[in-house]
Amino acid sequence: MLADPNRHIALAQYRLRAQYYDAQLAAFAPVRRLAVDCLQLQPGATVLDVGCGTGLSLELLHQGVGPQGQILGIEQSPEMFDLARQRVARHTWRNVTLVNAPVESAAIAGQADAALFLFTHDILRHPAEISHVVRHLKPGARVVAAGLQWCAPWDWPGNWLVMLAAMMSTSSLEGLAQPWSHLVPYMGDMRTVPSPINGVYVVSGRYAS
């Protein structure tokens, strides 16, 4: 049986990766844009960026909600959080709030219109963290998740690449067949969106309270 995600391992991973994270994720920019597009954000909306990392998605989210909207980014890694904070300061975004805490204990005010889980495998495999997020969503809120997923069993090259990427970015391989499965009970509908990159999934749904 595969071990569950481990917070201490994850913190150590991202302490080492923080300074290189943006460069490492550059190749996945098409997935990021597709995931944010699937949120169908409207001006004035509130969106949760769950596991926001260095804040790579913030500019796209800001474009979606506009200056009257609100963005809450949650990140447990102090090193990643500090880079996200610097990004917000450079752009002088006044409607972005960052919280440095594990997702399950993060302070989330009000009810959001949308939530993004982008390359956050460990978070998606923690039911308590999923539960905490969805309690702060409006009925019908859009939820999008994207990240690593095993390829077809015969696709050995693809699965080898997924394995290498997962060893750097997750603390467990548990659930890589369907990483979003803990979201499914909360969604009225959930669909798989064709991904531009092999070994990477994108799913989109609406929260059904």
pTM (global) more than 0.85: yes
Phi-psi region of 204 (alpha: psi -120 to 50; beta: other; left: phi over 0): beta
Report in angstroms the alpha-carbon separations of 83 from 29, 79, 107, 132, 191.
18, 7, 20, 25, 33
21-44 mean pLDDT: 97
Task: With beta carbons less than 8 A apart as the criterion, state whether 46 and 72 touch.
Answer: yes
- List, for residues 171-205, the tens digit of each pLDDT value: 999 999 999 999 999 998 899 999 999 999 999 99
Q: What domains sit in the chain, N to C, each tagged with a CATH number?
A: 7-204 (3.40.50.150)
Q: Is the pLDDT of residue 2 over 90?
A: no
Q: What is the pLDDT of residues 43-70, one digit of tens each?
A: 999 999 999 999 999 999 999 999 999 9
- Asked if 113 and 71 touch (Cβ cutoff 8 Å), the reply is no
Write down the pLDDT at residue 3: 75
Question: How confident is the model at residue 60, as a pLDDT?
Answer: 98
The larger pLDDT score, comparing residue 28 to residue 4, is at 28
Over residues 64-93, the pLDDT tens digits come to 999 999 999 999 999 999 999 999 999 999
Half-sphere exposure for 37 (CA within 13 Å, toward CB) = 10
Indicate the pLDDT class of residue 1, thresholds 50, 70 and 90.
very low
**Scanning the structure block, which residue is given the tokens 């997750």?**
170
Q: What is the pLDDT of residues 108-128, one digit of tens each?
A: 999 999 999 999 999 999 999
Mean pLDDT of 33-50: 98
Smallest CA-to-CA distance from 58 within 122, 80, 200, 79 is with 80
| Residue 199 DSSP class | T
